[in-house]
Structure 1
Amino acid sequence: MVFAWSGRLLIALLILLVGWWLARRVAMAVQRVLARAGADPLLGHFLYNLVLVLLLAVVVTGALDRIGVPTASLLAALGAAGLAIGLALQGSLSHLAAGVLLMVFRPFRVGQYVEIAGVGGTVQDVSLMHTRLLTPDNREVVLPNGKVAGDAIVNYSARGTRRLDLVVGIGYGDDIGKAIAVVRELLGAEPRVLADPPADVAVMQLADSSVNLAIRPWVKSGEYWSVQTTLLRAIKERFDAQGISIPVPRREVVLHVARDASALANGASNPSPPKPSP
């Protein structure tokens, strides 16, 4: 009896040792594959721990079963506990799953400028639970990964180039051809404006008080804001020098005085004499 029990215990310990070694090897292999694929190191570390824990659970269950411990009830208890924990952490687990998906599919990377759920900023960090953005006015925004993965993601840095969409109005009495020529000259003199694809300058709209020109040059994504401010100032100064007006909206208010109101006003200015009392 003692020898039989000792033999089962020895086999269980052997299962634990060999299983631990195999579990680590498999988990390390998964981590190496992700590293070679260029995955985020945080994702590799997370999956390493996840695979290791799952395999060790199988190994421990096998070892306990070998020494005669009833594992059916143990597995049922662990399953019930896992279900309860899963329901309690439903929101957190959804963020965790979304974080894994973000690291696998990589819709954006650290350092890129994105807009998520109406918030625009530079990506600072992507963890398993949250994504941190830094806004242009130096505010840090922390978004749960469940919201990030479930909302529209606009990546302004993914393509390397962006198109400026400027709208400048000129007066109806100004020469449209002259204004377009001035704008094209300014675009050609700006070294940060890309030659390919070529810039587009055309009449966009005949508005109430102006003829609106659409100015659409292409620039590198990192130079978007600086080129925009430079071009707007240059266009304003060159239009002033060339006598091209940039009108502002005007509204004309016409007051109509009712005829009864005029009569009442005239009666108030020339009051009739009071009637004599009897």
Structure 2
Amino acid sequence: MNDFFASIGFEHFSQNLSRYGIKIGIALLVVVVGFWFAARLANFSRRALERASVDVTLALFLRNIIYGILIALLIVQAMGVAGIPTAPFVAALGAAGLAIGLALNSSLSNLAWGVLLILFRPFRVGDFVLIGGVEGTVQSVNLMHTYLVMPDNREAVVPNAKVGGDAIINYNRRGTRRFEIKVGIGYGDDIGKAMDTVRQLFAADPRILKDPAPGVWTEALGDSAVNLVIRGWTATADLWETQTSLLRSVKEHFDASGITIPFPQSEIRVVSQPGPAEASAHPLMPSPQAPK
């Protein structure tokens, strides 16, 4: 009898082992084929993104994200095929993801903004920008930080979350920029002559664009001068040289034409008080009393 039950138990164990062995074999096959398929699909998505002119860094990052998601789904699927309960594993993955997200909150914010900056490109490498309160030329943009070279050759590393969360001013995007110069002339000078002199300087400098047309206007009547405002457009690369050159030319031509650029002036009046002799002679002034 014992031999009989033993034979039954052994047979039951053999059946279970065979059944679980088949499940495990199928699960391993799913894993092998799944890893191959996930890699192929992830690489295909990367090539598609690069053909769509997406930045190489962003394309590689998205490829790795797609591959990681596919592998996680593959592992869950393989566990289900092998007969292993997947609910605890999925719950553990969710809890781990939440903990990692809370721990890396600022880093994930930088990462998310890095993806958006690379995708929408509000500025490009070589642009002169004001981002996060910092002015400089864009040197590089990665998924976490934007690197700027400031005008004095210092390097600024700005977190992408700060870049995306603030106003972005791109000085190069339009290709042209407007300069503005303010200068005062004397009240006795000819305003029309001063304006004509400035217009001649516009025509003499090829860096000043004709469209939009430059101009000079009377801005205000100041305390000691008639204030003129001079505006013109140049290519972005020519702005500084053109503005400083025009300012010097205005000064030199005004001097040659006899047009004055007055200094700030103040008028002071001194009122003198009469002496004792003058006060006694005046009928309306009381005479000083002699000391006792």
Write the mapping of 1:76-91 to structure 2, written as runs, cut at 5 A: 76-91=91-106
Per-residue CA deviation, residues 77-100 of structure 1 (Å, 9 max, x unaligned), is 121111111111111111111111
| Normalised TM-score (structure 2) | 0.84
- Are positions 1:101 and 2:116 aligned together? yes
2:32 maps to a residue whose letter is L
CA distance in 2 between counterparts of 1:35 and 1:205 reads 56
- Within the candidate set 22, 35, 39, 1:20 is matched to 35
Matches for 1:6-155 after TM superposition, within 5 Å: 6-155=21-170
Rounded to whole Å, the distance in 2 between the matches of 1:21 and 1:258 is 106
Deviations 1:21-56 (A, max 9, x none): 222232223222322232221111111111110111
Q: 1:205 to 1:47 in 2, by over 3 A?
A: same
Deviation at 1:216, TM superposition (A): 1.3
Q: Which of 248, 251, 255 is the equivalent residue of 1:240?
A: 255
In structure 2, the partner of 1:195 is 210
Do 2:218 and 2:229's aligned partners in 1 also have CA atoms closer than 8 Å?
yes
Structure number, greater radius of gyration? 2
CA-to-partner distance for each residue in 1:100-131, whole Å, 9 max, x for gaps?
11111111111001111332111111111111
Q: Choose from 164, 175, 181 the match for 2:179.
A: 164
Normalising to structure 1: TM-score of the pair?
Answer: 0.88
Residues 8 and 104 of structure 1, relative CA distance in 2, 3 Å threshold: same
Shift in Å at residue 246 of structure 1? 1.4
CA distance in 2, matches of 1:116, 1:130: 12
Distance change in 2, residues 1:234/1:82 (3 Å): same
Contact 2:132 2:158 in 1 (8 A): no
Regions of 4+ moved over 4 Å:
253-259
Which residue identity lines up with residue 165 of structure 2 in the other structure?
A: G
Counterpart residue number, 1:4:
19
Which stretch has the larger CA shift, 235-244 or 250-259?
A: 250-259
Paired amino acid for 1:34? L
CA distance in 1, matches of 2:41, 2:183: 62
CA 1:10–1:211 in structure 2 vs 1: closer, same or farther (change >3 Å)?
Answer: same
Question: Following superposition of structure 1 onto structure 2, how do residues 203-214 of structure 1 map, counting pairs within 5 Å?
Answer: 203-214=218-229
What is the aligned-residue RMSD (CA, Å)?
Answer: 2.4
Q: What is the one-letter code of the residue matched to 1:178?
A: K
Identity across matched positions, percent: 53
Deviates more, 1:210-219 or 1:144-153: 210-219
Letter in 1 for 2:89: L
2:104 & 2:172 partners in 1: Cα distance?
35
SS in 2 for 1:217: strand
2:196 maps to which of 153, 158, 181? 181
Q: Which amino acid aligns with 2:41?
A: V
Q: Distance in 2 between matches of 1:180 and 1:4?
A: 98
